Amino acid sequence: MSKEKNLKKEFLEALIKTQSEIGAIYKDKINPHFKNKYVPLNSILAEIKPVLNANNFFLTQKITNEGEQEILRTEITHINGECLSSSAPLNVAEKNNPQKYGSAITYMRRYSLNSLLGLEEEDDDGQKASQSRSQPIVRKVSNAQLKEIQDLIDKTDKSASDICGAYKISSLPELLESQFKAVVTRLKDMAKSNENS
């Protein structure tokens, strides 16, 4: 197999793994004008960036120009150099209105990410109602919780792979929210022991 085919295969395997690890993203905000639920951009980024980064992907969204047309370009680049991208035109009638211009960009960033990664958005209330009858909601740790874990790891002689091995996961973002407290307690105890030794 050629080097180019190997890189493509590695890229696709990492992308498949990434998509399988990104769960449904819940609509937790209400649009005041239309009264419908939606997922804010920050919520999407909080869900997908840790998984992308754990699988060696880097996300960028930038505005460029093609002639007179402004374009939002979304790229997911793998560490091996392979890239998945999409371009979407930004059609903003009132560019001199910063609020409307910013809202249009934010909307298009959300739309582009959903399309590029094939993200699933689910109604949080409906999901809670259906799962309460069958199974509990399973949530992964947040970015803030991941940072707290990493900060504690740095104070011990453990590594992220040690935690992953103990919980049979391939990366820290896969850790369940319900496991967070136990991990933090254990790491705090280890950090305290290191300080006292």
Closest by Cα among 110, 112, 108 to 100 = 108
149 contacts 184 by C-beta, under 8 angstroms: yes
The pTM for the full model equals 0.57
Q: Is the pLDDT of residue 133 over 80?
A: no
Residue 60: beta bridge partners?
Answer: 75
Residue 29 has pLDDT above 50, yes or no: yes
Going by pLDDT thresholds of 50, 70 and 90, the confidence category of residue 146 is confident
Rounded Cα distance between 13 and 21, Å, is 12
Q: Which of 66-80, 101-115, 124-138, 170-184 has the weakest average pLDDT? A: 124-138
Pairing, β 37-38 against β 29-30: antiparallel
HEC secondary structure over the chain: CCHHHHHHHHHHHHHHHHHHHCCCEEECEECCCCCCEECCHHHHHHHHHHHHHHCCEEEEEEEEEECCEEEEEEEEEECCCCEEEEEEECCCCCCCCHHHHHHHHHHHHHHHHHHHHCCCEEEHHHHHHHHHHHCCCCCECCHHHHHHHHHHHCCCCCCHHHHHHHHCCCCHHHCEHHHHHHHHHHHHHHHHHHHHC
For residue 189, give the amino acid letter: D
Residue 36 in this model has a pLDDT that exceeds 60: no
Residue 135 pLDDT exceeds 60: no
Q: Which is nearest to 9 in space by CA: 108, 103, 78?
A: 78
Average pLDDT of 99-116?
Answer: 88
Percent of the chain with pLDDT over 90: 23
Beta-bridged to residue 76, according to DSSP, are 59, 84
pLDDT band at 83 (very low <50, low <70, confident <90, very high): very high
pLDDT (0 to 100) of residue 84: 93
